[in-house]
Amino acid sequence: MEEDKELERIRQKKIRQLMKPKESSADRHIEMNDETFQETIGKNTLVVVDCWAPWCAPCHMVAPIIEEMARDYAGRILFGKLNVDMNKKVAMQYAIMSIPTLLVFKKGRLVDRIIGAMPRKMLEPQITRHL
């Protein structure tokens, strides 16, 4: 009798897990680095790269906005994060002097550079105009 209850509890838990919508990697940002950078911007039509560092407070303010937009624009805009402390090659190539900096690539070409932290209502139109 106890075993039946335990099995039923496990079964119900598994059903709840299976019914929960799955978050795919396309629903959030991707981590980028010096090795994957060129391939990522080349393979995707519109890519927004968040250049950041762990010690940067304004970067941490922008991070949840990037996460939200990655979910909201999944399939239309790919959002990536690039730690400039760990990936100096790309940071130097694109002359990243201030962070956060968002690099916007369309069909592999840099089309915009957005510097500084700002609320979503200001940031979103600057990105979506490239759709």
Quick one: average pLDDT of 91-113?
A: 97
Q: Does any domain span residue 64? A: yes
DSSP 103: E
pLDDT at res. 77 = 97
Residue type, position 83, single letter: N
Share of the chain above pLDDT 90, in %: 78
Is 59 a known active-site residue? yes
Whole-prediction pTM: 0.79
Among 48, 59, 65, 102, the active-site one is: 59
99: domain range? 28-128
* Distance between CA atoms of residues 75 and 112, nearest Å: 20
CATH code for the domain in which residue 100 is found? 3.40.30.10
Q: What is the pLDDT of residue 16?
A: 73
- Is residue 51 part of the annotated active site? The answer reads no
Q: Is residue 71 part of a domain?
A: yes
- Specify the higher pLDDT residue, 116 or 17: 116
* Alpha helices per DSSP H over 55-119: 57-72, 88-93
What is the average pLDDT across 77-103?
Answer: 97
How many separate domains does the chain show? 1
CA-nearest of 76, 70, 80 to 120 is 70
Cα→Cα distances 21→4, 15, 69, 111, Å: 28, 12, 18, 34
Q: How confident is the model at residue 25 (pLDDT cuts 50, 70, 90)?
A: very low
Q: Give dist(CA 112, CA 9) in Å, integer.
A: 53
- Residue 24 pLDDT greater than 60, yes or no: no
Would you say residue 70 lies in a domain? yes
Q: Which of 41, 51, 56, 102 is catalytic?
A: 56
Query: Which has the minimum average pLDDT: 13-22, 42-51, 81-90, 93-102?
Result: 13-22
